[in-house]
Amino acid sequence: MDQIIVTGNGELSGEIPIAGAKNACLTLMPATILSDEPLTLTNAPRLSDIRTMSTLLQSLGAEVSTLQDGQVIAMSSHNLDNHVADYDIVRKMRASNLVLGPMLARLGHAVVSLPGGCAIGARPMDIHIHGLEALGAQIELKEGYLHAKVPGGLKGAVIDFPFASVGATENIMMAATLAKGTTVLNNAAREPEIVDLADCLRKMGAQIEGDGTSTITIQGVDRLSGATHPVVTDRIELGTYMLAPAIAGGEVECLGGKLSLVQAFVDKLEEAGIEVTETEKGLKVARRNGPIKAVNVTTEPFPGFPTDLQAQMMALLCTAEGTSVLEEKIFENRFMHAPELTRMGADIEVHGGTATVTGVKKLKGAPVMATDLRASVSLILAGLAAEGDTVVSRVYHLDRGYEHVVRKLSGVGARIERVKEQ
């Protein structure tokens, strides 16, 4: 098992290329099921979760090939010969449930294991199920598998989500593209990944309006064709690397970044005293004016502050002047990084969904353990500003969402290496 060792050594300088979005790519890949023609994705991230989704699609009979060092994914579902998404694959990754809607739309039936792959809360499938049932699906849970069928084919419906679920919006939007009639999704998620999926589906011939707003309208069509589509920039990787110079000092340009992807996050960075400038190539981030200022953060659905940047933001605020309060409103059990940051000298108190962070003058390197994807990178970021060595174990979590972390951070001057655990 690997470890990552980070040695704090001062300011960073240079450029970091930002990959395509993991969450967008994992949503776009199941869209291949909707058509018997090829779907090709460019700007794909090279991550273990992407490989897991490839394996799942291949198990259903799809052809999946990676080209150009993994940055292009070529897929074809002209010969789907299996309608069972097996537990041994699905358990590794939450996004596996996104094959359910497309399989029902294209095949009329599916058996999909309840997903796993995440330690940050239950994230139930209820909203997905209710939405698909509104389109005419009959779904039963038996022995950990959802057995779904559509005897008369999917039919358009008006669906009111109890909250703006990203996964449910994606799953039902894909299913509705081949349903008869019009589907209206109220209280739909507004994330950039939803817009990216809608853009891709429109290229395939879908009729979708309102993506990026809370009401999405889909007019069903008889069939979808193939397409080529670039995966949108990963706003979570973007925010993560923007925090590197904020924590360590210096100036870094994140290539491919756009303010529109991370505006609420940028607002908090600027409140904390960090300079952010949009350039022709991306976003330039600089820390020049001394200590970080304490800020309060509440996670919210897009366009609010992303829950997937909360752990990284906490790492920044560990050395801020004053006391910051972080309120987590999206997922329960999402402060598992706090005890590990405390091992590095941070002053953090957690009560339910609220963490109070009182800044300290300096963090100290320590052996720490990653508990989930975003927690793992928050510990690496903290190590950039700590005295001595920070040794992060269980970095396999990191590989699910960040490609070439060591290469990207060392390229701007960080002292970081990946080693085999002794």
3-state secondary structure (DSSP) of residue 198: helix
| Amino acid at site 146 | L
Catalytic residue among 118, 200, 254, 318: 118
Burial class (CB in 10 A: 0-12, 13-18, 19+), 18: buried
Tell me the β-bridge partners of 63: 76
Give 142's contacts (C-beta < 8 A, 6+ positions apart): none
3-state secondary structure (DSSP) of residue 298: strand
Check the annotation: does 89 bind a ligand.
Answer: no
Spatial separation of the C-alpha atoms in residues 385 and 406, rounded to whole Å: 16
Spatial separation of the C-alpha atoms in residues 93 and 235, rounded to whole Å: 20
Instruction: Give the DSSP letter of residue 346.
Output: -
For residue 219, count other CB atoms closer than 10 A to its CB.
15
Contact predicate 420/2, CB 8 Å = yes
- Closest residue by Cα to residue 325 from 303, 305, 344: 305
Q: What six digits make up the tokens of 385?
A: 């500003």
Instruction: Give the DSSP letter of residue 151.
Output: T
Check the annotation: does 308 bind a ligand.
Answer: yes
200 included as an active-site residue: no
- Closest residue by Cα to residue 299 from 272, 329, 270, 325: 329
Spatial separation of the C-alpha atoms in residues 14 and 42, rounded to whole Å: 25
Spatial separation of the C-alpha atoms in residues 291 and 287, rounded to whole Å: 9
Check the annotation: does 94 bind a ligand.
Answer: yes
Q: H or E stretch including 326?
A: strand 323-327
Spatial separation of the C-alpha atoms in residues 170 and 29, rounded to whole Å: 12
Spatial separation of the C-alpha atoms in residues 33 and 416, rounded to whole Å: 41
Q: What six digits make up the tokens of 207?
A: 């009729």
Q: What six digits make up the tokens of 419?
A: 């080693």
Spatial separation of the C-alpha atoms in residues 258 and 142, rounded to whole Å: 45
Check the annotation: does 16 bind a ligand.
Answer: no
Check the annotation: does 22 bind a ligand.
Answer: yes
Spatial separation of the C-alpha atoms in residues 61 and 239, rounded to whole Å: 36
Q: H or E stretch including 111?
A: strand 109-113
Tell me the β-bridge partners of 228: 40
Q: Which residues participate in catalysis according to the annotation?
A: 118
Which residues sit in the known binding site for UDP-N-acetyl-alpha-D-glucosamine? 94, 308, 330
Which residues sit in the known binding site for phosphoenolpyruvate? 22-23
Which residues sit in the known binding site? 22-23, 94, 308, 330
